[in-house]
């Protein structure tokens, strides 16, 4: 994943720390679900896959230092991180491009449990407009402006072909969306104040392929 952000968070938490907070949140959620009440920084670091010094430093930005000999209160730390990320509130999200990937994203139940509510699925193809995916109607892309205004949407997901992605992003930005998660293999140009994160699984696979090749060469 690559990040393009225009500003640091209110208390200037470093961007690399911000990127790890959701990882800690996921690890803490697993601990809460397992009934764990306290954990050491070493346990949490192992669950999150980072080293414990880095974890302690990251959590110190949140003013969270744990209790010597006891560790962190799992439930409270989870709340603190969720509050810092902003997922204690419900974020309405629109997904544009309801093809193979759009269907998979719309059907993913993990968004809701992590604070994101998919309020609209939009597609330019009228043949898709009769569909209901995960209980949400697929609607015309031209309804974007109305939906964003009615629902106060700040986050948009792009799952269209690459050629359409910039035009979709432009329409999103023009009607007030300020954060975009882009799955299309296209570099988006957006004005200051709009954050774009790009997800590209084939790049992740290519990085793994590079390491596989290195392993094979040194074997
Ligand atoms: N990032 C990743 O890891 C990853 C993985 C898979 C696919 N993708 C990308 O996601 C995108 C979607 O892939 P897919 O397999 O779902 O494609 P798809 O062809 O099945 O679906 C694309 C959908 O976008 C709609 N669309 C086209 N132009 C539009 C526009 N201007 N406005 C609104 N909707 C529009 C189409 O009608 C279609 O329903 C592609 O760009 C693909 O390369 C990325």
**Same domain, yes or no: 99 and 151:** yes
Q: How much distance in Å is there from the Cα of 194 to the middle of ligand 1?
A: 22
pTM: 0.83
- Binding-site positions for NAD(+) read 97-102
Residues of 57-70 as b/e, b for ≥16 C-beta within 10 angstroms? ebbebbebebeeee
Sheet holding 132-133, edge to edge: 2-4, 195-198, 179-182, 155-158, 91-96, 116-123, 136-140, 132-133
**Same domain, yes or no: 49 and 114:** no
Quote the pLDDT of residue 5.
Answer: 45
Residue 109 structural domain:
91-202
**Same domain, yes or no: 75 and 96:** no
Q: Is residue 217, in this structure, part of any structural domain at all?
A: no
Q: How much distance in Å is there from the Cα of 105 to the middle of ligand 1?
A: 11
64, 84, 104 — which closes off a domain? Answer: 84
Number of domains comprising the chain: 2
DSSP assigned state of 142: G
For every residue of 21-89, DSSP letters joined together read HHHHHHHHHHHHHTT--EE-HHHHHHHHTS-HHHHHHHHHTTT---BTTTBEEHHHHHHHHHHHHTTTS
Q: Which residues line ligand 1 (CB under 6 A)?
A: 96-102, 123-125, 128, 141, 159-162, 164, 167-168, 183-185, 199-201
**Same domain, yes or no: 97 and 77:** no
Ligand 1 atom closest to Cα of residue 125: 37
Ligand 1 atom closest to Cα of residue 98: 39
Q: Block means of pLDDT (10 residues each) for the chain, length 219 residues?
A: 44 89 94 93 93 94 84 93 88 97 94 90 96 97 97 96 98 97 97 96 93 89
Q: How much distance in Å is there from the Cα of 72 to the middle of ligand 1?
A: 43
Quote the pLDDT of residue 112.
Answer: 84
**Same domain, yes or no: 61 and 132:** no
Nearest CA owner, ligand 1 atom 17? 99
Q: How much distance in Å is there from the Cα of 28 to the middle of ligand 1?
A: 33
53, 68, 84 — which closes off a domain? Answer: 84
Nearest CA owner, ligand 1 atom 44? 183
Residues 6+ apart with CB under 8 A from 153: 92, 93, 94, 119, 120, 147, 176, 177
**Same domain, yes or no: 77 and 114:** no
* Residue 22 backbone phi and psi in degrees, to 5: -60, -30
**Same domain, yes or no: 57 and 108:** no
**32: CATH:** 1.10.10.10
Instruction: State which of 107, 139, 160 you would mutate to test the pocket of ligand 1, scoring each by most atoms of that ligand within 8 A of its C-beta.
Output: 160
Residues 6+ apart with CB under 8 A from 207: none
**Same domain, yes or no: 73 and 106:** no
39, 68, 84 — which closes off a domain? Answer: 84
Q: How much distance in Å is there from the Cα of 184 to the middle of ligand 1?
A: 7
Q: How much distance in Å is there from the Cα of 123 to the middle of ligand 1?
A: 10
Instruction: State which of 1, 97, 108 you would mutate to test the pocket of ligand 1, scoring each by most atoms of that ligand within 8 A of its C-beta.
Output: 97
**Same domain, yes or no: 71 and 114:** no
Quote the pLDDT of residue 65.
Answer: 77
Quote the pLDDT of residue 11.
Answer: 63
């Amino acid at each position: 994943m690559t990040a393009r952000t225009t500003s640091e968070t209110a208390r200037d938490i470093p961007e690399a720390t911000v990127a790890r907070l959701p990882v800690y949140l996921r690890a803490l959620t697993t601990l809460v679900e397992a009934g764990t009440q306290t954990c050491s920084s070493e346990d949490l670091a192992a669950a999150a896959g980072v080293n414990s010094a880095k974890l302690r430093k990251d959590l110190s930005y949140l003013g969270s230092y744990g209790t010597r000999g006891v560790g962190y209160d799992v439930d409270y730390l989870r709340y603190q991180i969720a509050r810092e990320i902003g997922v204690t509130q419900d974020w309405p999200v629109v997904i544009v491009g309801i093809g193979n990937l759009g269907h998979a994203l719309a059907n993913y139940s993990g968004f809701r449990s992590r604070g994101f509510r998919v309020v609209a699925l939009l597609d330019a193809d009228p043949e898709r407009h009769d569909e209901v995916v995960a209980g949400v109607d697929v609607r015309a892309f031209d309804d974007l402006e109305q939906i964003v205004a009615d629902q106060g949407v700040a986050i948009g997901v792009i799952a269209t072909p690459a050629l359409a992605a910039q035009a979709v992003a432009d329409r999103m930005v023009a009607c007030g969306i300020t954060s975009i998660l882009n799955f299309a293999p296209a570099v988006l140009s957006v004005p200051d104040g709009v954050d774009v994160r790009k997800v590209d699984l084939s790049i992740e696979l290519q990085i793994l392929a590079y390491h596989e090749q290195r392993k094979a060469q040194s074997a």
